[in-house]
Structure formats: structure tokens, C-alpha cells
Chains A and B, each alone.
Chain A
Amino acid sequence: MAWTWFHKLGSPPYVFRLAETLTPWFWWISAVLIGYGLIGGLVISPADYQQGEGYRILYVHAPTAWMSLQVYVVMAVASAVGLIWRIKVAHAAAASCGSMGATFTACALATGSLWGGPMWGTYWEWDPRIIFELVLLFQFLGYVGLRAAIDDKQRADRICAVLAIVGVVNIPIIHYSVEWWNSLHQTASVMKLGSKPTMPMSMLMPLMSMFLGYVALFGALLLTRLRAELLSRERSASWIREAVHA
């Protein structure tokens, strides 16, 4: 049947070995893509006519900001799969996403702040996208905190799954409410990335490469963490001994 792959993904030993095989691939792909993106972005592409050299932080900032949202969606989907089909591996994947997502979000905020310093003249602006990222960070931290507060692993998995699903419903609502809040709020005009007319290919290509490189990086980190998570969760299972001694 075509669905056997799906059933196999529910088995911890199979996923553990699959992750072991795939992890180096993800590391290599991300290294190549991020390497090209960094050389293309920092060395080859020209300086921006408005922002000079400072805009180059974009090559790190935009992918991290994008990933922060992607990680939440991945976490929520994994949580839903775990909750509906009671798949332990999916819960383990969601658990691995929590602190990683918080890190991506914190990096997006930090790089955005460093970019805003010279460009907007302030390291912190109550801009809707910054507030959105901040609320997202709080959601990630709440998820990690709730998981840490419940001793029973299985109950923690399922409670946190409900939280992740509620949170993913909340994300678009927060996004639009801060957008509308800003349109109602007469703030000082700030320079927006979106107002740039077009991006030349020499900038766009490295940026795309960075985006894909970060996806691969996330994949590599997720698989590594997933293996650690499976090792700790299944430590009493017999397949662990075979897998570790093999």
C-alpha cells in the first residue's frame, strides 16, 4: 500500500535510523547553500544605493524571521499529527521544535534590531512586525515553559500539542491585529523593506539561497534533536541498545 511509509514514520527505530542517514545530507546541503549565499551576499552583490553596506544583514535577518514562523507551523502540524493519530515520533518532533523556534525568533529580533540601529536610527521601534515577532517569541517560550512544568512526558506531549494548535490559530489573528493597529496608529514613517521597487538578481539569488539553506539547516538541527529526543524517550527499549552499539 502507498500508506506504508506513513506507518513506518510512526515507528521510533525506523525514524531514528532514517534520521541518522539523512542528517549528513541536510548538513551538506545547508552548508553549500548558506556558503554560496554568504559569499554572494557579502562579497559579490553590490552595496544598496540607499542603505550602503548595512543592508547586508538582510541575508541573515530575513531567513531567520521567515524560519521563526515556519518552525511554529511545523511544530503545530507535528503536534496535530501526534494528537490525532497518537504517534509518539510526531510528539518528539514537536518537542524538538520548541526551543529551536524560540532561538530563531530571538535571532530574528536581534538581527532586526542591529539592522534598525543604523537604518532607522533606533534599535527598537514598536513596529507591527517587531511586535508580531515578540508575541511569537512569547508563544514559543510559553510552549517550552509548559512542557518543562509537566513531569509526565506523555501528558506533557498532548497538553503542549493543544497549546501549539491554539497558538497556530492565534498567529494570523495577531498578525492582522497588529497590522490594523499600526494603520490606525499614526507612527513616524519608517523605511519599509517592501517599499523597495525591485531587487536585482545579484541580490535575489544569494537571498533565495540563504532561505533554502536555512530550511536545510533547520532540517539538520531538527533531525539531530529528534534523535536525541528519541534516545531519551525510548531509553528502556531494546532497539536503542542495538542502534547505539551498531
Chain B
Amino acid sequence: MAVLARALNVLALLGIIGVLLFAFYHQVMLGELPCALCLIQRAALIAAGFGFMLNVRFGSSESHYGVVIVSALAGGAVAARQVLQYIVPDFGSSGPELYGWHLYTWTVVLFFGLALLAGVQLFIQAQFFEGVHDLRPTMLSYVASWVFVAVALAHVVSTVLQCAFGPCAGSMVEYELLQK
């Protein structure tokens, strides 16, 4: 069961990396800059991924799952706030759609799912037994961790380019540092 927990942690980390890269693809390839609330949701997603990364790097711990759940709650609140912003029909929307729902609506589902996953994983008691922490991280774990770091670095660079060193405008069409 400890191996199952580890596999789930790696898969969750890879899934979060995939979602962040998908958002990055929309930003870089399609030229759709994220809004301020979208950026905050991405930060919360990285924060949740960090919890899974801790499990992958150091072995499972209740506090690592706590990191995931708290981050998911924060991100879910931000995403729900953005859904509320466009809750009335014909009052506009923000960003692209995927299977009929806007990305921020999917993000609510994603954060709910992450909190649920972390909560369910807490029931796998075998992963917390003494000695399990001595399991050596696999090569995939190392690669996933470093790719996660690279994705986080890419978001730092892109956010600085977009918003410079101040607060971000609600919706932007240009990178602030690349103007002129």
C-alpha cells in the first residue's frame, strides 16, 4: 500500500505539472495572458503540487497532505470567486472554454479533486509506518521534482514579465516589461 501511495503522489505531481504546462501553452503559444485571479489560482496549484512533491522527495507525511489540502482550499476559493464574477448569463466571461466550461470552472473541480485525493490518501496508513520513509526516491520521482521546479521557475519569469514588480491588472493583453 505504501508503494500505491507513492505512485499516487508521483501521478498527482505529474498531473499538476501537466495542468500548469497546459495553462502555459495557452499563455505562450496562443497569446492569452492570464488574469490576476488566474495567476493566483496557478500559484495555489503550484502550492498544492509542492505538497505532493514533499511526499515524493521525503516520503509520505500527514503534514505534506495538509499542505495539499490547505493549498487546494485556498485555490478553490479563488476559482469560486472567479466563477461568481461571471455567474450571470450574458455578462461576459474570461478565457477559453474546454468541453463547454471555462478554465476557472474546471479549476474549481480540480482543486476539489486534489483536496479529495489528499484526504483519501490519508487513509492509506501503511505509508506512515516507520521504515517506509527509508524507501529511496525513484528516478521518476527525481525527474518529476526537478521538472516541477522548472515549471515554477517559468512562472516566476512569466509573472515578472507580465506584472513587473507590482500588483497585476485585472485583465492584461501585454507583458508590462516587454512594452516599448
A, B: real partners:
no
Binding site for B on A (CB under 8 A): none
Binding site for A on B (CB under 8 A): none
